[in-house]
């Protein structure tokens, strides 16, 4: 439900942003980079890799524009914690699989022939992990002889939270380099499910191409 609300919010923001479009064309941005997240529940830390696509709207009269997009990330970092459900604790030990989608407000500044952008990001970040023995809310569906529907069970669970970030990007023509720091409060919606210490900070470095 929380994810649906966020998607509807982003749709409304994107629809409103279309009114800012004038003569200038819209732009696309491909983003790849590395990240490191910091959490007390990680027993191994590794640098991760991510990539994604962002849609850039035309800047308004204050040199500010909106970006909507998504990133996927993976690292060999290892989470080890107990997941609470139905009054029981279930051990979770999993690598780091990330999917995030959201919005960025970007303020542009000119510096000689280059451009600097200050980024404020608000997105939904999802941490996926092997569900182990966590019980399902609904019984698993299987295909009957008379049922041609195919059910795919990935045997994964996830934690979703807001990602609040601040960063800066440096552009030379259509090639950019960026750094960003973010806070992800996973316990915002999972206080009874996950232990203290799962909230995390992350640091990201990105290489960007706009077209």
Structurally, the chain folds into a number of domains equal to 1
Q: Which segments within 112-155 are labelled E, that is strand?
A: 114-130
Q: What is the pLDDT of residue 20?
A: 43
If you average pLDDT over residues 72-79, what whole number do you get?
Answer: 95
Instruction: Please write the tens of the pLDDT for every residue from 25-72.
Output: 568 999 999 999 998 888 999 999 999 999 999 999 999 999 999 999
Please report the pLDDT score of residue 89 as a whole number: 85
Q: How far is CA 100 from CA 61, 63, 95, 189, 201, in A?
A: 29, 26, 16, 16, 15
Residue 34 φ then ψ, to 5°:
-125, 155
CA 202 to chain centre: 11
- Give mean pLDDT, residues 158-175: 94
Q: Which domain holds residue 129?
A: 2-210
Res 203 pLDDT > 80 = yes
- Using CA atoms, how far residue 44 sits from 37, 38, 47, in Å, is 11, 10, 10
Other Cβ atoms within 10 Å of 31 Cβ, number:
22
Beta bridge partners of 202: 37, 182
Provide the whole-model pTM: 0.79
Confidence of residue 113 (pLDDT cuts 50, 70, 90): confident
The CATH number covering residue 70 comes to: 2.40.160.20
């Amino acid at each position: 439900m929380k994810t649906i609300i966020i998607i509807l919010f982003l749709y409304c923001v994107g629809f409103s942003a279309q009114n800012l479009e004038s003569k200038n064309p819209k732009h696309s941005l491909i983003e790849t980079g590395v990240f490191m997240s910091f959490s007390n529940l990680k027993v191994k830390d590794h640098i991760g890799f991510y990539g994604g696509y962002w849609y850039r709207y035309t800047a308004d009269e204050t040199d500010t524009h909106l970006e909507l997009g998504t990133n996927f990330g993976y690292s060999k970092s290892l989470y080890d914690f107990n997941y609470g459900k139905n009054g029981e604790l279930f051990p979770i030990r999993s690598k780091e699989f990330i999917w995030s989608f959201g919005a960025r407000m970007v303020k542009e500044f000119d510096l000689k022939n280059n451009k600097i952008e200050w980024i404020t990001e608000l997105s939904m970040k999802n941490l996926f992990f092997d569900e182990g023995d966590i019980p399902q809310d609904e019984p698993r569906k299987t295909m009957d002889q008379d049922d041609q529907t195919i059910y795919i069970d990935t045997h994964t669970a996830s934690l979703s939270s807001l990602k609040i970030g601040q960063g800066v990007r440096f552009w030379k023509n259509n090639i950019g380099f960026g750094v960003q720091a973010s806070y992800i409060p996973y316990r915002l919606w999972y206080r009874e499910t996950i232990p203290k210490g799962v909230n995390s900070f992350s640091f990201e470095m990105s290489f960007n191409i706009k077209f």
